[in-house]
Amino acid sequence: MSKAPNAARRSESSRRAILAATEELCGEGGYGRLTIEAIATRAGVSKKTIYRWWPSKGAVVLELLDEAASVAANPPDSGDLATDLRALLTEVIGLLTPAHSSPAIGLIGEALHDPDLARDLRERLIQPRIATFKERLRRAQETGQLPADADLDVALDLLYGPLYHRMALHLGMPDPSHLDSLIAHVLRALTAPHPAGAAEQR
């Protein structure tokens, strides 16, 4: 007598097929053309199966990106701050490239109109990366590579802000040389001595 199918294994197989189909379809036509129906057809499952696990295509894409995360799960610590910042920023550039088919860019756009998706995006994808970034900068403060009073929130804006600025205005992601220059300028600003009396200025 044959054994009954393993329900857990079958479910995981379907989930993997759905995520793989989502990645393929985003690469072929971009996030804007992605539909639950297309995902179901490519994955060989029913739309009901997809909706059992995810409320929208945005939620499927978010899980795809969450699983693909690498640097957030393994914070870089080479001992050289500039090198580690390059690794962190390069991962983000990878998520935002190429612009016409990046699932992340499509997800960010949709999250502007979907508060629930925006919350999930922030909690699952963005905040872990911010935590990783700040953890690395705190270690730099402990080893004297950054001043103890360096503002980590300002550092976050200075380093990551240009990437999203370039994304929003279709300026293209920085090439390696530009990225190195950005990191060098920000570190120079963060480590520059404060002018005497600057804290008292209005």
Residue 202: predicted pLDDT: 39
- Who wins on pLDDT, 8 or 46? 46
Q: 69: pLDDT confidence band, cut at 50, 70 and 90? A: confident
Residues 11, 15: Cα–Cα separation, whole Å: 6
| pLDDT, tens digit (0-9, with 9 covering 90-100), for 173-185 | 999 999 999 999 9
Model confidence band, residue 8 (pLDDT cutoffs 50, 70, 90) = low
- Rounded Cα–Cα distance for residues 188 and 168 (Å): 26
For the cut 50, the answer to whether the pLDDT of residue 1 exceeds it is: no
Q: What is the pLDDT, as a whole number, of residue 193?
A: 80
The larger pLDDT score, comparing residue 8 to residue 157, is at 157
Reduce the secondary structure of the chain to three states and give it as a string. CCCCCCHHHHHHHHHHHHHHHHHHHHHHHCHHHCCHHHHHHHHCCCHHHHHHHCCCHHHHHHHHHHHHCCCCCCCCCCCCHHHHHHHHHHHHHHHCCCCCCCHHHHHHHHHCCCHHHHHHHHHHHHHHHHHHHHHHHHHHHHCCCCCCCCCHHHHHHHHHHHHHHHHHCCCCCCCHHHHHHHHHHHHHHHHCCCCCCHHHCC
pTM: 0.82
Structure tokens at 198: 């600057």
Tell me the C-alpha distance between 117 and 154, whole Å. Answer: 26
Sorting pLDDT into bands at 50, 70 and 90, what band is 189?
Answer: very high
Residue 4 pLDDT greater than 50, yes or no: no
Question: Which distant-in-sequence residues (6+ apart) come within 8 Å of 64 by Cβ?
Answer: 19, 22, 23, 103
Q: What integer pLDDT is reported at residue 186 of this predicted model?
A: 98
Domains of the chain: 10-53 (1.10.10.60), 68-191 (1.10.357.10)
Contact call for residues 137 and 150 (beta carbons, < 8 A): yes
Q: At what angle do helices 103-111 and 57-68 cross, to 10 degrees?
A: 130
